[in-house]
Amino acid sequence: MKNNSKSILAILAILAVIVFLGWFFWDILVYMLIALALSFLGKPLMRLLSRIKIKGKQFPVSLAAAITLVVIVIALFLIFYFLIPVIIREVTSIMSIDPTALNEEFSNWLDKLDPTLQKFGFLNSGEHFSTLVSNEIQKAFMKIDMSNIVSDTFSAAKAFFIGLFSVLFMTFFTLKDHGIFFKMLKEWIPTKYRENFSNILDATGKQLSSYFIGVFMDMLFVGMIEFILCLIFRVPNALLIGVVGGALNIIPFVGPILACALGVVISLTSLIPTDPGSAILLNTLLKVIIIFVTTKMIDDFILQPTIYGKRTQTHPLEIFIVILMAGYVGGVFAMIFAVPAYTLIRTVVKEFFGTYFFSEEESIKKK
């Protein structure tokens, strides 16, 4: 009994150290997870290249990893390359907007809400909703410190390039030396627990690989649905809205809301240079909201239960609670990696404490 207690304490201590290191070195952990995700995507090409033989010798692993990494980078570059003209066109459209005309149109539209707001007591007699909104916007701009914006921009650019180099470097060695992160971690685990660690890798490797593939499938389906609905409803810049919606869908809960807000901005700014009436703007606004709400319902009730539930073998309610807890503790980035982290932790717990979670029959089946 004492030995079991010591083993449990040792295992809990190891888990606590791993969790602490992951929290303290959060940026590095994110780089590692992104590198793992990219390596999972590059696995099929690595397998294909490994089957090639040159003069009876196997294709060099380092060269295969380099080729795979280059293919991944080129694929990402091409995605951004085709999006850049769309983004430039959108920015040009925004730059061509007359600020005075936009302010007048916006103020006139807001002033139409005055009678209703005064009727329910939200505005006093003689007050205008447009004036209140304008004052709040001015206060927000007055709080903005341009020097901080410049320094934050340089810091963000510096962090981006450091992160990019780190991810590419880690991805190369993850492709070259399969499971390198886990092998490094295994060296720090006591010898008697290494067999359990190998079992954990076998159990989680396929699930995590399947999960990351599911994430990209979900992003692709969501983006396509939003793109098609925008075409059907004749919303401007359907492709850009679909891409933004699909990309931001990787962020649970917050991503779709942010994508909807950006979709509204993208569609309305495309119409304003043509000087449309307020009825057309309101109609487009409602269309975009309906499109994103419809897509969100399809994603929540059809796509996510089908993709994530089966791939992680986790109930949707369980996933929902885990994501909420991760968001509370670590914010948006924690929400993105909540499900794979939870899958790994759950496997670790079941491996070491299986007798506490399984009946004898289930334990036999598990073995």
Instruction: Give just the sign of the alpha carbon dihedral 162, 258, 251, 91.
Output: negative
The tens digit of pLDDT for each residue in 105-160 reads 667 766 777 787 777 777 777 777 777 777 776 666 566 555 566 666 777 778 88
pLDDT for the residue 237: 83
For Cα atoms 123, 126, 130, give the angle at the middle one, nearest 5 degrees: 65
Residue 144: what residue type? I
Alpha carbon distance 288, 270 (integer Å): 13
Tracing tokens 């993105």 back to the chain, one arrives at 336
For Cα atoms 295, 33, 263, give the angle at the middle one, nearest 5 degrees: 25
Alpha carbon distance 259, 261 (integer Å): 5
109 closest CA partner among 280, 235, 243: 280
Ranges under pLDDT 70 in the chain: 1-8, 10-12, 14-15, 18-19, 21-22, 90-91, 93-106, 109-110, 137-152, 179, 193, 203, 205-206, 272-279, 308-316, 333, 351-367
pLDDT for the residue 138: 67
pLDDT for the residue 316: 67
Query: Cα torsion at 26, 28, 33, 36 (round to 10°)?
Result: -170
Residue 205: what residue type? G
Alpha carbon distance 32, 350 (integer Å): 24
186 closest CA partner among 201, 174, 172: 201
DSSP structure string for 40-106: HHHHHHHHHHHT-EETTEEPPHHHHHHHHHHHHHHHHHHHHHHHHHHHHHHHHHHHTS-HHHHHHHH
| Bridge partners of residue 58, in order along the sequence | 53
Alpha carbon distance 8, 79 (integer Å): 48
The tens digit of pLDDT for each residue in 259-280 reads 999 898 888 877 766 656 666 7
Sequence-distant (6+) residues with CB within 8 A of 242 are 223, 224, 225, 226, 227, 228, 230
pLDDT for the residue 98: 63
Sequence-distant (6+) residues with CB within 8 A of 303 are 218, 221, 222
pLDDT for the residue 223: 93
pLDDT for the residue 224: 94
| Bridge partners of residue 123, in order along the sequence | none
